[in-house]
Amino acid sequence: MSKKHRVFSGSRPSGRLNVGNYLGAIKGYISLQNNPEYDCIYSVVDLHGITTPFDPKKYPEMVRGIILDYLGAGVDPKKCHLMVQSEVPEHVELSYLLGTIFPVSRLEDLPTYKEKKAQNPNYVNMGLLYYPVLMAADILLYKADTVPVGKDQLPHIEITREFARRFNRMFGETFPEPQALLMEGAYVPSLKGEGKMSKSIPGSYILLTDDLQMIRKRLAAAPTDMGKGKKVPETGGVANLLTLVKLFEGDGVYEEYAEQYLHEGIRYDRLKDNLAVAIYKELAPIQERRRYYEENYSLVEEILEEGKEYCSKIARETMTEVKTKMGLL
């Protein structure tokens, strides 16, 4: 590799990308692809997506949907590589090998595992527990040192670093310890007033493909209060709305609303309307670019083919090194 750093990150095809994924992760993808020192690989992690309920008939369309969302959002295939995780089987192969050097109890303790268990109590499978092992493999397979992600993924990055340390200690220096790259929108809250925005939780999100009317409708459902009080709320529906104001309209507008809350009161209908317009302004060019790729899908197929080949080559090299170091023939 001629570049100094390597980047890997991905999204599950569990729905369309939302503004949380965009501000928390995709903006990081874009800033890194524009830095010539970084060799970037961005993935649709379809093997992670099947750890929670999914429809196999719709799944290929979901995978394509994420790729289109990436391209629409400004991920530039001339500056990075786009790939689908299951097309490079070495991800699974490395994850098995890594799984043999890690205690189960540490995996059971991870917050994301507990959250997904609570979200789908009848779908607690081995893959779900194995999620961080596969994620460590995704990153280490390419010896990536930089991972643009949202705050929710920090425990997984920490685990990945631990995997790298353990492997290096047991079998010799092989993997760098990757660092997370967090953006300003590293934690975009849910519209439901609780938790983070997630593409698999209906009612929590605004999608990158939503039109103005839909954004208005989704914001209308977000919980609010009387509009005034002695202290600006730090958690719950109003706090979450104000965070979105800050992210899309800036600190100045946020301060104005905070002032209003303590004095004359906020008119939420106006706040939501202005916020909807600000969000749509950012999304409109994304939607236009997405449509271009959707109408020229053969371009996308070429992009994915390039990504698969590029990644397979690196993956094979890493696997040869790893297997040799582990004493496998």
Using CB under 6 A, which of the segments 14-22, 32-40, 79-87, 250-258 binds ligand ATP?
A: 14-22
Question: Which listed range, 4-12, 30-38, 228-236, 308-316, lies at the site for ligand ATP (CB under 6 A)?
Answer: 4-12
Establish if 14 lies at the interface with ligand ATP (CB under 6 A). Answer: yes
In the chain the first and final C-alpha atoms are separated, in Å, by 26
Could you tell me the two tokens for 251? 């600190």
User: How near is the Cβ of 156 to ligand ATP at its closest, in Å?
Assistant: 9
Task: Write out the H or E segment, with its range, that includes residue 107.
Answer: helix 104-108
Per CB under 6 A, the list member of 6, 11, 90, 128 interacting with ligand ATP is: 11
Give the interface segment with ligand ATP, choosing from 18-26, 29-37, 74-82, 239-247 (CB under 6 A): 18-26
User: Does residue 21 touch ligand ATP according to CB under 6 A?
Assistant: yes
Position of minimal CB gap to ligand ATP: 24
- Which one of 85, 198, 240, 318 is in contact with ligand ATP (CB under 6 A)? 198
Kindly identify the residues of this chain, within the stretch 82-141, that bind ligand ATP according to CB under 6 A. none
Q: Which of residues 306-325 bind ligand ATP (CB under 6 A)?
A: none
Part in contact with ligand ATP (CB under 6 A); list of ranges 11-19, 244-252, 282-290, 297-305: 11-19
Give the interface size with ligand ATP as a residue count (CB under 6 A).
21
Contact 308, 87 (CB under 8 A): yes
In sign, the C-alpha dihedral spanning 101, 171, 160, 25 is negative
Q: Does 241 bind ligand ATP (CB under 6 A)?
A: no
**Contact yes or no for 72/208 (Cβ under 8 A):** yes
> What angle (nearest 5°) sits at the alpha carbon of residue 128, between those of residues 124 and 130?
135
Task: Provide the minimum distance between the beta carbon of 300 and ligand ATP in the complex, in angstroms, as a whole number.
Answer: 19
Nearer to ligand ATP, 223 or 227 (CB): 223
Nearer to ligand ATP, 40 or 186 (CB): 186
Stretch that binds ligand ATP, among 97-105, 120-128, 186-194, 224-232 (CB under 6 A): 186-194
How far, in Å, are 126, 141, 197, 273, 316 from residue 207 at the CA level? 30, 31, 10, 17, 36
**Cross-strand bridge partners of residue 6:** 39
Return the number of the residue (184 or 301) whose C-beta is nearest ligand ATP: 184
CB 6 within 8 A of CB 145: yes
Q: How is the beta sheet containing 179-181 ordered, strand by strand?
A: 81-84, 38-44, 5-11, 146-148, 179-181
Applying CB under 6 A, among 65, 77, 132, 150 the residue interacting with ligand ATP is: 150
Cα–Cα distance measured from residue 323 to residue 172, given in angstroms and rounded to the nearest whole number: 12
Q: b/e string for 201-227 if b means 16 or more Cβ within 10 A?
A: beebbbbbbbeeeebbebbeebebeee
Q: Nearest CA to 7 among 26, 17, 319, 18?
A: 26
Among 187, 258, 294, 323, binds ligand ATP (CB under 6 A): 187
CB of 158 to ligand ATP, least distance (A): 13
Closest to 149 measured CA to CA, from 177, 181, 116: 181
Instruction: Out of 12, 81, 91, 143, point to the residue binding ligand ATP (CB under 6 A).
Output: 12
Q: CA torsion, points 51, 52, 56, 57, in degrees to nearest 10?
A: -160
By CB under 6 A, residue 188 contacts ligand ATP: yes
143 binds ligand ATP (CB under 6 A): no
| Binding site residues, ligand ATP, CB under 6 A | 9, 11-12, 14, 20-21, 24-25, 149-150, 152-153, 185-188, 196-200
